[in-house]
Chain A
Amino acid sequence: MLSIKNLSVKLEEEDKQILKGVDLEIEAGKVHAIMGPNGSGKSTLSYVLSGKDGYEVTDGSAYLEGEDVLEMEPEERAAAGLFLAFQYPVEIPGVGNMTFLRTAVNAQRKARGEEEMSAADFLKAIRAKAKELKVDADMLKRPVNVGFSGGEKKRNEILQMAMLEPKMCILDETDSGLDVDAMKLVAEGVNALRSEGRGFLVITHYQRLLDHIKPDVVHIMADGKIVKTGGPDLALEVEHNGYAGILSEVA
């Protein structure tokens, strides 16, 4: 599904190498988790994959189902099936949440040469999905993320994911700022989307999110590289020994 080879990235503005050769192979139907200490490059990886400005790829490649992701505009990546759930979802005053979602769904469909979704079909679909994620009618009417609590923002991200039905989902610290109940709700939303054709990359500091979204593979990232890969047990090891223990082990 997503094939990343030797991905090396530096900040455009300053001469600072953030990613130093990341190799990652995510298969359809699998959930991969990346864990790592602050500043290890986890979020940078998610931004580079989704096409945010300010980064320069110095080496390596990233392919989504054989398509060169790094050559595409952010909207093209989205239409190709890539989705990033933001760590800090952006507030957009003046743009209604519903308008935003419908514009996004139809823009992607148009880009793929598919028929646009009718207003009635869209309304039906979003109502059903919003209900599952406990996103109320008011949240749909309000401007995108404006005045939303931390939990509401994250649920709104998952709602977008559910409506856009991407092939490859990247979740950037979706657990940050969530209490236990909110995290469970978000995790349930994600689990409902798990399917054979869809890959997941879950970025997190803590093991607790992975109690709810059970990963198939766990990677540890440090200083811009994947330093260790293992099964779900690896996450437990982090929980018990901290990153320091694992990093000294691989050093």
Chain B
Amino acid sequence: MAEAALQQTATDARLASLTLPTGGWSEAARADALSRVKSMGLPHRRDEYWKYTRPDTLTQADVISAAVFDEGTPIFNDIDSLKIVFVDGVFDEAASDDLSLEGVSIERLATSLADIHWARDLYGVLETRGQTPVQRPLATLNTAFATDGVLLHVTGKVSKPINLQYQHKSECSDAFLHHVIRVDAGAEVTLLEAGPAAARFNKVMEVDIADTGVFHHVRAQGRDHERRAATHIFARLGQESTFKSFTLTKNGVMTRNECVIELTGDDAIAHVAGACVGDGDFHHDDTVFITHDAVNCESRQVFKKVLRNGATGVFQGKILVKPGAQKTDGYQISQSLLLDDDSQFLAKPELEIYADDVACSHGSTSGAIDETALFYLRSRGVPQDQATDLLTLAFLAEAVDEIEDEELRTEIVDRLSGWLERHRN
């Protein structure tokens, strides 16, 4: 009783601290989300789904300040792309490119106020679908209160990536961004996300991929150490469609990245991968839920974490194979490299299978640097620090290699090398 009352009080306080945007096509979805989040309540520390990650700093009404960190040139800045800049969750028109690009219509959530809009069929819809069997109240909170985001309707093969560049410039910013992406049949787009969106941010992305559509997503969550993040991706895949998402996380005292994928058309492919590196006061949680609800689909989850000086990594990954989803090929691997005895990795891999002709595998490991390999490298003249970095990058490679584009992959590896060089004994 006491716990439920506390949760109610915390949820009420959080809701009271926010203002519900009104008007336009999203109004009904927001009202619905508000009532849903009221009845669910925000996550609390006794929630099974939050067993390894304390939700309090992500849910509390008071904003926690995070020192502003200037990381220099943002990642992906030199990649030929269409840049859309948000500063502390607020669109920066002057810093952004013109929002026009062949093969995609680009709008902003905050300014698309028509009563009828294609995004109405998706906004909060995929998020709602993702609430069963496990509730994700922070995403629902976002649907109700998101102040901005991009609405991408992809109709053709888009020639260059769309690059969402986030900047954190105010110490006490608290941002809600909600992106909606619809990829039409045969269309293809790459979405990049770079940087921390605010001192604390809650980000939702809903992606609906029609038959044979292709969606690539590569994001880097910045080097900003004190920021806190709760992000959700909800993706629905049609027949023969492809969804590939990779996330790089360096630093961050609190990160919860959830990815909820539904394979609804036959022969679809979903890959989700992540590499994270944390030093000291670092908590990183990857929570993935993939539902196979069609025949002959492939899903891959590849998550690698490098942890040191008491850093904590969490992985909760599930593959659900529904009845009839035969010929499913599901793969899941989560691994941590613990660079000292103080760091910890908590993993909960799950398979739930209701079809009899499937191949699903999962593995999870925690380990230290391979001393034999380290000695081999040193015996060839590679100094210990450099040899450790080489082996660490090798450990992360399986996740990084999930990125198809070589230029993007190289940027990610460069950033990881830089981080490792800065974080040595």
- Name A residues whose Cβ lies closer than 8 Å to a Cβ of B: 50-53, 73-75, 77-79, 83-84, 86, 89-95, 99-100, 103-105, 107-108, 111, 143, 160, 164
Q: Are A75 and B376 in contact (CB under 8 A)?
A: no
Q: A94-B398, A95-B390, A95-B391 are in contact. Are A160 and B380 (CB under 8 A)?
A: yes
A sample of 11 inter-chain contacts (CB < 8 A) reads A51-B379, A74-B379, A75-B384, A78-B381, A79-B381, A83-B379, A92-B394, A94-B393, A99-B390, A107-B381, A164-B381
Q: Are A51 and B395 in contact (CB under 8 A)?
A: no
Among B372, B378, B391, B395, residue most surrounded by chain A Cβ atoms (within 10 Å): B378
**Does B101 sit within 8 A of A, measured CB to CB?**
no
The SS class assigned to the B binding surface is: helix
Bound CA–CA A79/B384 (angstroms): 13
A155 smallest CB distance to B (angstroms): 16
Bound CA–CA A135/B393 (angstroms): 25
Q: Are B375 and A75 in contact (CB under 8 A)?
A: no
Q: Are A100 and B381 in contact (CB under 8 A)?
A: no
Bound CA–CA A103/B380 (angstroms): 9
For window 365-399 of B, CB contacts with A under 8 Å fall at 370-373, 375-384, 386-387, 390-391, 393-395, 397-398
- Name B residues whose Cβ lies closer than 8 Å to a Cβ of A: 370-373, 375-384, 386-387, 390-391, 393-395, 397-398
Q: Are B382 and A53 in contact (CB under 8 A)?
A: no
Q: Are B376 and A103 in contact (CB under 8 A)?
A: no
Q: How many A-B residue pairs have CB under 8 A?
A: 79
Q: Are B390 and A103 in contact (CB under 8 A)?
A: yes
**A75: chain B residues within 8 A (beta carbon):** 378-379, 381-384, 387
Q: Are A53 and B394 in contact (CB under 8 A)?
A: no
A126 smallest CB distance to B (angstroms): 14
Query: For residue A80, which residue of chain B has the nearest CB?
Result: B381
**A91: chain B residues within 8 A (beta carbon):** 373
Q: Are A90 and B373 in contact (CB under 8 A)?
A: yes
Q: Are A107 and B386 in contact (CB under 8 A)?
A: yes
Bound CA–CA A93/B377 (angstroms): 13
A203 smallest CB distance to B (angstroms): 15
Q: Are B380 and A94 in contact (CB under 8 A)?
A: no
**B380: chain A residues within 8 A (beta carbon):** 78, 100, 104, 107-108, 160, 164
